Chain A
Amino acid sequence: MNVVEVENLWVSYGKVVAVRGISFAIPRGEVFGFIGPNGAGKSSTIKVLATLMPKFAGKARIAGVDVRTDPNDVRQRMGYMPDFFGVYDDLTVKEYLHFFAAAYRLPMAKRAGVVDDVLELTDLTHKLTAPVDSLSRGMKQRLALARVLLHDPELLLLDEPASGLDPRARIEMRELLKALSGMGKTILISSHILHELGQFCSRIGIVEAGQLVAEGSLEEIYHKLSLTRVVHLQIANTTSELCQKIRDLPGVRELEEQTDRISVRLDEGIVSLEDFHDRVYQLGGRIRMFQAEAMDMETAFMKLTEGKTA
């Protein structure tokens, strides 16, 4: 069953259209990474799901509950962590968590136990009586995550949770999110720190200018992009005749002769990397270097987006 369903979502701020017909679905237990440049429409989409954006077109449902018609029910089912801290500096950690426990109408008898649990999970138990103001940035972010977990929501909406954190705090946050994923939580996380998402997202959606330009598992997106993968070759006996023969091979879309190498743009739907290697060898090429361009998330992102904003 899908926990999140978004169909043809449109969001506008006055004359500016921030989201243009985005559709996606997130099955239960999945970690969905929302990637895109600043101003792409990630936060607007998340805000719609967090019931903070009453004016939008299209459909948005959480666990089958319509965000527009039943926001109160939706609020019980999700936890939203914005890209800023959203903490009361004049409260202690304990007061802060009890404050939101009361806001979520947790039964009195359960509150102390729940607060202890979320503090333990976020490793903040030793800061129970510390003023929120005295916490480091990373700790504040973990406290915000603890707050999100108080009412045990099935969906976590995390908008840039690692934004502004130092490397250690980012790693701690990542481990925490992995743990939550292991607990079966469905997570929608937005970020532009791409390689971090790649480590624990089961699926990603790449957004640009308010549109979803790619969506799927990492492998699917890589596969889709690698259809035109670039292969760098160094051949000891390169001649223009050999280059022409390679150019004529099936699946070779383009060949560029460079000073120390030739670059071949290969259609992997027609010929695999291994077969291409064999064919060059069969043509008499003495291969010194065969390097297919690595397809990581940043490459995928750069390939799929043009840096446009909505």
Chain B
Amino acid sequence: MNWLSWGLPLLSKELIEQAARSRTYVVRVLYAALLFLVGGAVYASIVFSAQGNTLGALGQGAEFYKWLVGLQFAGIYLFMPAIACGAIASEKERNSLVLLILTRLGPTSILMEKFLGRIIPMLMFLLLCLPLLTIAYSLGGLTQEYLWLGILLLVVTVVQVGSIAIFCSAYFRTTVTAFVGCYLLGFGYMLGPMIFVESMDLCLGQGTWAAISYRLPSLLPGGSRYLFQWLERSRLVGSQMFLPFCFLSFAQQGDVIGVLFRCVPTLVTSAIFVLLARFYLLRRAFAEPRNLVLELFYEMDRFFRRLNENGLTRGIVLVRDSADVPEFDPLAWREVNKSAFGSFRYLIRLFVVTEVPVFFLCTLIAITDVGNSVPEYLGLMLCAVWLVVVLIVSVKASSVINVERTRQTLDVLLTTPLTGRSIVTQEMQGVWRLCGVVSVPLLTIIGFKTWWTNGT
């Protein structure tokens, strides 16, 4: 008897399911193609930098390896949330989680088997790099410590991102919300401390945080002291939780103890995320699907309506909603009237929420004495805002047709005289509006950067 199918039925099922899906192989081939393409380009650049002399590339293995691990890190951050976010959330969507809970597997076993079921495919992705690693090693200049520390950091990162994703999957009702939640939580958790420390210095002047972290710990109990020291270190070496920084610093220097020491907080927090996932697995198993953004907007509607009902404004409405029923393009009507990021007044709110902080930060950077670092700070801000914008737009765009399928309305739509092109065009109306709104903060930063660069 296969021990795996006897002892870990859910894991077996997950792996068999994945193995049976043609998508698994398509994604794997795509991943490998991208990896080998970029790896090949890096290798070519190393050889060309040696003026076409292949022998001149000898000893460049460490450089090649650094690129490969960097690519793998990017692969993990891109693929792992997509792989793991649906682990439990998709069971909730299919109403099949309850069936699993009713078995004798138990919630811990369900969670761990699901977790492993998503970790293993990602590790398989990492294995795709082996042929390139042999090339890197054969080029020379790559120490065994650097090699193994890189691999260790990759595996720890898989566990780390997987644990955040599995927590989001257990907490959120749908795969899409789990996916968005995973990226937002991961971003805050990995880069939050660094951004916090840098923001403190930016707002209150250079050296402020260093002064605080030097003086305050002596006034605080032991635990808080470590927190301050850790935050200070976050600034110095990048975030403790963002392991690519650790790879570029400690692993490159061959500091085994340093790397192992820095893996501990990551593994501890990963364990905490898994425990939280276990905690929420049953509590959120029957959570009703909720659109939190829409609910927040409805609440704000009520608040503003109450505020508007006074002697002065007398319930004045500046911009009225479009028709209460669709006239010609029903899907477009639905997108711009019924979705959270579709209607005019909701987009105005999104505009305010995204544009005001960006404008404030741009102004702050300009008036704070950061000298030549202004373009650098603005560049970082552009990257951060771009990431958030890409996340919002890609999730919105990728879900427009999928939501119709999940809601089982796509078949019904396809039997109406609406053509496929018309359905897609109308569904995209909301996405274009959203693109217009979220591009404003991006343009603000770019404009600000251009103005600063040309003005100084």
Interface residues of A (CB under 8 A from B): 47, 50-52, 72, 75-76, 78-80, 82, 84-91, 94-95, 98-100, 102-105, 108, 111, 147
Contact = CB atoms under 8 A, between A and B. Distances in A.
Nearest to B413: A103
A94 B325 CA distance: 8
A95 B322 CA distance: 13
Contacts of A147: 412
- Which 4 pairs show the lowest CB-CB distances between chains A and B? A98-B325, A86-B412, A102-B330, A103-B416
Given A80-B412, A94-B325, A99 B333 contact: yes
A89 B291 CA distance: 12
Given A88-B409, A91-B338, A103 B414 contact: no
Nearest to A94: B325
B326 interface: yes
Given A86-B408, A99-B333, A102-B333, A50 B415 contact: yes
Contacts of B414: 51-52
A229 B214 CA distance: 99
B411 A102 contact: no
A50 B327 CA distance: 25
Interface string B363-393: 0000000000000000000000000000000
B309 interface: no
A155 B22 CA distance: 38
Contacts, number: 72
Contacts of A51: 414-415
B334 interface: yes
A103 B338 contact: no
A75 B418 CA distance: 9
Interface of B: 324-331, 333-334, 338, 407-409, 411-419
A86 B405 CA distance: 9
Given A80-B411, A102-B330, 5 more contacts: A52-B411, A86-B407, A99-B334, A102-B325, A103-B330
Contact of B330 (A79, A94, A99): A99
Nearest to B323: A98
A90 B337 CA distance: 11
Given A91-B334, A91-B338, A102-B333, A86 B411 contact: yes
Nearest to A81: B412
A4 B330 CA distance: 30
B429 to A, nearest CB: 14
B359 to A, nearest CB: 33
Contacts of A104: 416-417
A80 B415 contact: yes
B327 A102 contact: yes
Contacts of B416: 75, 100, 103-104
Contacts of B328: 102, 105
B413 to A, nearest CB: 7
Contact of A72 (B331, B338, B417): B417
A80 B410 CA distance: 12
Contacts of B331: 103
B417 A103 contact: yes
6 contacts: A75-B417, A76-B417, A82-B408, A82-B412, A86-B412, A94-B325
A76 B415 CA distance: 9
Contact of A102 (B329, B409, B415): B329
B74 to A, nearest CB: 35
A147 B419 CA distance: 18
Nearest to A103: B416
Contacts of B330: 98-100, 102-103
Nearest to A50: B415
A72 B419 CA distance: 8
Given A98-B326, A100-B330, A108-B327, A86 B417 contact: no
Contacts of B419: 72
A241 B417 CA distance: 73
Nearest to A49: B415
Contacts of B408: 82, 84-86
A51 to B, nearest CB: 6
B333 to A, nearest CB: 7
A132 to B, nearest CB: 11
Contacts of B329: 102
Contacts of A85: 408
Contacts of A98: 325-326, 330
Contacts of A102: 325-330, 333
A89 B407 contact: yes
B250 to A, nearest CB: 51
A111 to B, nearest CB: 8
Contact of A88 (B324, B407, B417): B407
A104 B422 CA distance: 13
B125 to A, nearest CB: 27
A76 B418 CA distance: 11
Nearest to B328: A102
Contacts of B326: 95, 98-99, 102
A191 to B, nearest CB: 19
A79 to B, nearest CB: 8
Nearest to B403: A88
Most buried by A among B330, B338, B415, B417: B415
B25 to A, nearest CB: 16
Contacts of B324: 95
Nearest to B415: A80
A103 B412 CA distance: 11
A86 B410 CA distance: 8
A158 B204 CA distance: 69
Contacts of A82: 408, 411-412
Contact of B409 (A76, A78, A86): A86
Central interface residue in A78, A82, A86, A91, by most chain B CB within 10 Å: A86
Contacts of B327: 102, 108
Nearest to A47: B411
Contact of A52 (B333, B409, B415): B415
A103 B331 CA distance: 8
A50 B331 CA distance: 20
A98 B322 CA distance: 14
Contacts of B333: 99, 102
A88 B414 CA distance: 15
B317 to A, nearest CB: 20
A86 to B, nearest CB: 4
A125 B329 CA distance: 25
Contacts of A91: 334, 338
A103 B325 contact: no
Q: Point out which of A88, A91, A102 has the most chain B C-beta atoms below 10 A from its C-beta.
A: A102
A117 B203 CA distance: 65
A42 B443 CA distance: 55
Contacts of B338: 90-91
A45 to B, nearest CB: 15
B418 A88 contact: no
